[in-house]
Amino acid sequence: MISEDHLDFMHALWSRRTTYTYIFLVLNILIFVMMELAGGTTNEATLMAFGVKSNPEIDQGQVWRFVTPIFIHIGLLHLFFNSYALWMVGPQVEKLYGSARFVLLYVLTGVAGVVGSYFYHPDVISAGASGAIFGLFGVLAVFGLKYRKTIPPFFKKAVGAGVLPVIVINLIIGFSFPAIDNSAHISGLLAGALLALLIPFHQPGAETGRGLITVQAAIVVVVCASFYQVASNYEGPSFSFRNLSLGWGQVVGTKSSVEEFIDAVNLAQRNFQTLSERLDEEKGEDPGSLKKSAAEAIEAIDALKRAPSMGAEPDGLTNQLLRLMEEQYQLITDIERTGTKTFAHNLRLKENTREYAKVMRTFSDWVENDGRRYGIQMGKRP
């Protein structure tokens, strides 16, 4: 039989709103979509521009990178698992501690996770809400032990010792995969446990003090100011809706939009040169050779049409290269139709070759001047 006091406790607790859990969920998704518009969440240039943890940049004064990584995710699966975990555990903590304390707990444990990664993995970039989520698990574990004598017995199963198996399993998973930054998980977990020892939960019926509301507002301002710094210092790829279809297809995060762009340009470059050399030879009129050339031209044209947008200048260069490949294809079909290569055909081939050289010089200049923004270097794949 559940006592009336315990029923009142549960009613007061679960009638509380969990506003900030869903604000943080929406913020994670919004930033993810923006990153996909800017070249993809697996592209290092995009990640750096949006504020992932990077020790050299932090050492140069970009301290907002201790905050922004909490809301950045690398790949769709990373976003999905962290969002699901936040959706499951966030409401429990926010209902227990109230929105003001929840904001404090979530952001501070997230920052603790970034700090742990900063010290234990200084050579790699990192991001994700995992440190904050482990922090929330740490809060629930300590809450269950700290208030074990006052909370309803049936409620103890969901907190305290009941959380420990989840923590242990996730830590084991973290240690099993080198790509997972367990230092962030452990740091966030320990920070959450410590904060739960120091900060009391929000008693049913109690009012939130002005001091806590002020702290909550200050933390929200810090988060906003951190992303303002990201916007002010942004030097990443340009935003384009053309990148979204590629981004959502990167379920496991193996290829970025920049890599798709470079692959398309490299394919067009190889095929154009091969076609030009083949057409310049005497066997350029051979039906089998023409058929092969037409297929290679179509392959390059399709790749360029699917290439993601990288901004006005690179998109303009891609369009010029696309026009040249289409001209090469028209030249091939004309030779195929007439059955012979005429003097006019040779003039068109030479003109296309000159235009191609001009486009590639401009492309090389763009890579040299602006390639760093996109993680592109001359002679090196991003």
Backbone dihedral angles phi then psi of residue 180, each to the nearest 5 degrees: -85, 130
Residue matched to tokens 């699966």: 77
What is the C-alpha to C-alpha distance for residues 209 and 124, in angstroms, rounded to an integer?
41
Catalytic option among 54, 78, 99, 185:
185
Altogether, the residues listed in the chain come to a count of 382
Known catalytic residue at 257: no
Using CA atoms, how far apart are residues 29 and 125, in angstroms rounded to an integer?
20
Q: Give which of 382, 78, 371, 373 is closest to 260, Cα–Cα.
A: 382
* Residues 68, 78, 74: CA angle, nearest 5 degrees: 55
DSSP 3-state assignment of 274? helix
Q: For residue 188, which of 161, 162, 170, 208 has the smallest C-alpha distance?
A: 170
- Catalytic status, residue 130: yes
Q: Whole-angstrom Cα distance, residue 126 to residue 134?
A: 16
Give the span between the Cα atoms of 41 and 254, in whole angstroms: 10
What is the residue-wise DSSP string for 167-233?
HHHHHHHHHH-TTS-HHHHHHHHHHHHHHHHHS----TTPPPPHHHHHHHHHHHHHHHHHHHHHHHT
Active-site residue identified among 54, 117, 130, 276: 130
What does the alpha-carbon distance between residue 123 and residue 292 come to, in Å, rounded to a whole number?
47
**CA angle (167, 159, 134) in 5-degree steps:** 35
Angle, helices 343-374/312-338, rounded to nearest 10 degrees = 160
Annotated active-site positions, please? 130, 185
